[in-house]
Chains A and B, each alone.
With several copies, the nearest count.
Chain A
Amino acid sequence: MSEQPELVRTVEALLFLSSDPLSPGELADATEAGEGAVVAALAVLAEEYAPGLRGIRLRELGGGWTLASDPDTEDAARRLFSRPRASTLSPAQAETLAIVAYLQPISRPEITRIRGVSADSASATLLDRGLIEEAGHSQFGAVLYRTTPQFLKLFGLRSLDELPDIARWDPTPEEQAELRERLLRAGEARAS
């Protein structure tokens, strides 16, 4: 393809970056060009991005212009978005979620004690993603967390009873104490 004039290239970049439609007036302000020149640039782009030519189209929507994917590509897009994402949980998130899943309801200070580092950002993300939720307050006033029905769905579990038996990963299975107590002890040993 041939080289485009600078204004056409700039308008193209702005349309690409913006998730909302842009009016010729907004484009003129941003490019510091006249509105007539912007309309001419949009005409060049409309031809480039005419339906059927490429995977992206230029569309006029509610008085503004926007780039959008061609509807023909929707099946592939659906497969792309529905693929199980490789790195869904960070180690901090996995640890925080595991603590909530096995010990619920559990307060944030306790999670922090077990992890040895603050769990604030991890628990905020998990709340955000609907994997955990608040479950009242402890006797000391700290917010308690539990997992959500959404958590069970995403992990393919019918109920919490189906959580994997941790014996397989237990480094010292001979220990008799309760899981909560053992996790707290190990966490405090790590933090000290």
Chain B
Amino acid sequence: MTAVALANLELDLDVFSGPFDLLLTLVLREEVDLLELQLAEVVLAYLDHLEQRGELDLETATEFIVLVAALLELKSRLMLSSEEQELLDIEPEQAAEELLARMLDARRFRAAAAHLGELLDAEHGVRFRIAPPPPNLRRAIVHAADGSHDPQVLGEAIGRMLLMPPAISVRHISTLRITVAERLSHLRELLRRGSFSFDEAVRGADRMTVAVTLFALLELYKRGEAEWEQQESFGEIAIHGRAHEAPAEVLAG
């Protein structure tokens, strides 16, 4: 599983230093723990690398995005505890199979693309004649075409377009027991006491509550009731009230 085009991307991370393709190999061999690897750092290093080179190689960029997306997906699944995985119906085997399939697909079609490129190159210099039919034949074309189309195709086309797409099934999404309104009033309560961190706001909460709380926080930000800052990726999120106005009391009701 080497990524030839990315071999030049040198990384210097907390848990690893060396070329990107080596990192990939080590992750797959479990010699580097995917959970300890900060993928944001890898992306930043790649952006630096791009800036230094001063050009965007689309092929390499595509490859990089596919690989990082696959790693990100695998990592996010690794981060779930096993009972929560049951909830989402994702097995580790499934995650591994999916990553493998994704990587094999990307590799397969890149090779197939190269093959098509070779085929096209082999045809270099082959030209075909593009000429209108001689004048004495042109009339024949238009004349004989009368009635040559079947009106049924129009009816079929309309039938195709009348078809409503099937409704998207939402059965697999578990019912929300936590409401945004609940979490909004919780956050407003905390804000009244001053600044706090996101971790404090969700201490001891389950994953769904964490997600809904984050959503409620976005809502507060949108309404101008709160601001937040994060010094570094994965760092603490500090939340402050807006000093210049105090609409919280009004809107809380």
Contact B137 A189 (CB under 8 A): no
Please, how many angstroms separate the alpha-carbon atoms of A139 and B77 in the complex? Answer: 30
A114 touches B106 (CB 8 A): yes
A16 CA to B162 CA, complexed, in Å: 44
Question: Are B146 and A94 within 8 A (Cβ)?
Answer: no
Interface string of A71-85 (1 = CB under 8 A from B): 111100110011011
The answer for the CA separation of A94 and B117 in the assembled complex, in Å, is 7
B93 touches A98 (CB 8 A): no
Closest beta carbon of chain B to A75's beta carbon, Å: 8
A35 within 8 A of B: no
**Chain A neighbourhood of B140, CB < 8 A:** 78, 81-82
Contact B100 A180 (CB under 8 A): yes
| Residue pair A162, B151 in contact (C-beta under 8 Å) | yes
Contact of B108 among A17, A67, A89, A170 (CB under 8 A): A170
In the complex, which residues 67-108 of chain A have their Cβ closer than 8 Å to any Cβ of chain B?
67-74, 77-78, 81-82, 84-86, 88-92, 94-95, 97-99, 101-102
A191 at the B interface (CB under 8 A)? yes
A73 to B108, CA, bound (A): 35
A51 to B110, CA, bound (A): 32
For B147, list chain A residues within 8 Å (CB).
153-156
* Residues in A neighbouring B85, C-beta threshold 8 A: 191
CB contacts (< 8 Å) of B92 on chain A: these are 184, 186-188, 190-191
Q: Which among A116, A188, A192 has the greatest number of chain B C-beta atoms within 10 A? A: A116
Inter-chain contact B28/A182, CB cutoff 8 Å? yes
- The answer to whether the Cβ of B126 comes within 8 Å of any Cβ in the partner chain is yes
Q: Does B166 contact A (CB under 8 A)?
A: yes
Compute how far the CA of A32 lies from the CA of B147 in the bound complex, rounded to whole angstroms.
22
Say whether, besides A166-B112, A169-B111, A183-B96, A88 and B149 are in contact (CB < 8 Å).
yes
Could you give, for residues 128-160 of chain B, a 1 whenever the CB lies within 8 Å of some chain A CB and a 0 otherwise?
111111101100110111111111111111111
Q: Which of B57-65, B180-188, B238-246 contacts A (4 or more CB under 8 A)?
A: B57-65
Name the residue among A114, A163, A166 with the largest chain B CB count within 10 angstroms: A166
A163 adjacent to B154 (CB under 8 Å): yes
Instruction: List, in ascending order, chain B residues with CB within 8 A of A165's CB.
Output: 155
Give the interface SS of chain B, mostly helix, strand, loop or mixed. helix
A residues 40-75 in Cβ contact with B at 8 Å? 59, 66-74
Query: Judging by beta carbons under 8 Å apart, are A82 and B143 in contact?
Result: yes
Give chain A residues whose Cβ lies under 8 Å from the Cβ of B121. 88
Contact with A along B53-83 (1 / 0, CB 8 A): 0000011011001100110000001100010
Contact status of A94 and B100, CB under 8 A, knowing A164-B151, A182-B28, A187-B161: no
Residue pair A91, B93 in contact (C-beta under 8 Å) = no
B29-37, B170-178, B198-206, B213-221 - interface stretch = B29-37
- Residue on B with the closest CB to A169? B159
- For A185, give the chain B residue with the smallest CB separation: B30
Query: B residues within 8 Å of A by Cβ?
Result: 1, 27-30, 34-35, 58-59, 61-62, 65-66, 69-70, 77-78, 82, 85, 91-93, 95-97, 99-100, 102, 104-117, 119-134, 136-137, 140-141, 143-166
Taking Cβ atoms with an 8 Å cutoff, the residues of A that contact B are 13, 16-17, 19, 59, 66-74, 77-78, 81-82, 84-86, 88-92, 94-95, 97-99, 101-102, 114-117, 136-137, 139-141, 153-157, 162-166, 168-172, 176, 179-180, 182-192
**Selected A-B contacts with CB under 8 Å, 10 pairs:** A17-B129, A86-B120, A91-B62, A95-B113, A98-B157, A136-B160, A153-B128, A155-B119, A157-B119, A183-B99
